Structure 1
């Protein structure tokens, strides 16, 4: 294994041209949101917008909600909608594991050339289905898998405690077995490539240990994928940005209690813009020195 660093060149591609339009920044389809869990898909979609993608669809398994009143920009449609127009897919947020969810996930595998992030119940269904395991490993484009320790344990057939004993090795095993970029959540999130390249994210803290933050992270990942990032760069920068959003909250509030996933959306946008300003200044400074 070999440790990698954040790719600043990838981040700089997010700087917008004056003549850009919504089609210039890609589009995301979020597939999930079963009965009683639509909020997870909506949070993911809101985060994707906050991280700069031009358009977001919510392909909801429970499509009774016509509009998200807090983010009317999100376009809600049924989960069986054609996905060819989407630049990237976010799969599994509030998806459930019923027959409807199973059928939706099976259909997603026909879009193996779409940059995609799989989270939550999508991971749980993949873990127990040999056909799904094979399909995720043989995708045309490597997927991003974002398990927390318990989900990682299911993917590996072991306990969460065993995963936590050697997080780097667990991430490597998942990455190799599933031929996917693996983002193992937790204190010092690990991002692992099947070739052994890895990055350990050191931003963020306990303020992010609340429901819905995984949906926010997946939204940021999908937005970066839609804007042209490689899978490894998208996972790495998303973890970094999401963590910085948490750090900003803790600094503002003098403590880590009370951050909700909904509140994190605006912080993601703030930190992403601040990163671009800071990196641009660094580039300009280097040019002046040389």
Structure 2
């Protein structure tokens, strides 16, 4: 056991009951506005997973920005959401010019309480250019997932201006890439790697594998062992990013949102493991379990 691991708090329902989420408001505006930005021609479903997860975690108002070619289908799949179709580049991803200040996307993101960036995006140079235009003026909580982590890989200070109001949700491979480390080394000491990334980036880090490690910028550390191997499935990370974003939108601070989100995500997996099987449940089935887990914890 590493020194980092010995410092960790193991997350349980009892721990979370002593750290309750902010009470929900009575209207959709009172529970916060989320903005999920991502997707491409090849991976349109990631945005759907993250967006539904944000609502299922209690956020009140949902806004989604994705590629113009997939926006109509996403709008039908998410009748609760405002869906903004964005210009595309030749690869079928979001055109980086869409992030320019004064653009529709920039105004949509600036008006949200929490913004999720990166799910389902393709083309690292284009994604980096998009986020480098879109993120610096933002003052609300930002959640970066998947290729959305690329700007932090290039520059660890990318989110320093947010003063801790940001969450990174890498899987173990992404965690290794962002740190410039060997994946086997990160797997052996995920706790230390998550803490190091939190220190460098000044963001909360929720790093998932067979278990989840959540590291705060000030060095605090949590371990969540719920969920198991079944969560290692395509789209599961998109759901986690959406839960974090939804909890931030409804008023949780980034550290609390990340800790709660990992447990909600894991417990949703546990529920599906008991009803479907330890392996073989789908990421799309996770969001519907989140309100049930919330109710169980908050009783």
User: TM-score by structure 1 length?
Assistant: 0.86
Q: In structure 2, list runs of 5 or more residues that go unmatched.
A: 87-97, 99-104
Structure 1 alignment gaps of length 5 or more? 278-290
* Deviation by residue 1:157-193 (Cα, 9 ceiling, x = unmatched): 1121110111111111111111111111112210001
Match of 1:74 in 2: 81
- Measured after TM superposition, the shift of residue 63 of structure 1 is 5.0
**Structure 2: how far apart are the matches of 1:184 and 1:158?**
14
Shift of 1:271: 1.3
Equivalenced residues, count: 270
Q: Is residue 155 of structure 2 the alignment partner of residue 118 of structure 1?
A: no
Q: CA deviation at 1:198?
A: 0.6
Indicate yes or no: 2:280 matched with 1:275: no
Please say if 1:45 is aligned against 2:51. Answer: yes
Match of 2:39 in 1: 33
CA displacement at 1:101 relative to structure 2: 2.4
- Answer yes or no: is the 8 Å Cα contact 1:241–1:268 preserved in 2: yes
- Structure-1 separation of matches of 2:252 and 2:8: 19
Q: CA deviation at 1:116?
A: 1.3
- Deviation of 1:72 after TM superposition, in Å, equals 1.3
Alpha-carbon offset, residue 53 of structure 1:
0.6
1:258 aligns with 2:280: yes
User: Aligned equivalents of 2:162 and 2:30: distance in 1?
Assistant: 26
Between the aligned partners of 2:182 and 2:176, the Cα distance in structure 1 is: 5
Of 217, 221, 227, which residue of structure 1 is paired with 2:250?
A: 227
2:199–2:217 CA contact under 8 A, matched in 1: yes
Q: CA deviation at 1:86?
A: 0.6
The C-alpha deviation readout for 1:9-47, integer Å capped at 9, x for no partner, is: 553434x46xx1111100110111122112111110011
Deviation at 1:110, TM superposition (A): 2.3
Moved more, 237-246 or 268-277: 268-277
User: In structure 1, the residue corresponding to 2:77 is in which secondary structure?
Assistant: coil
RMSD over aligned Cα atoms: 1.9
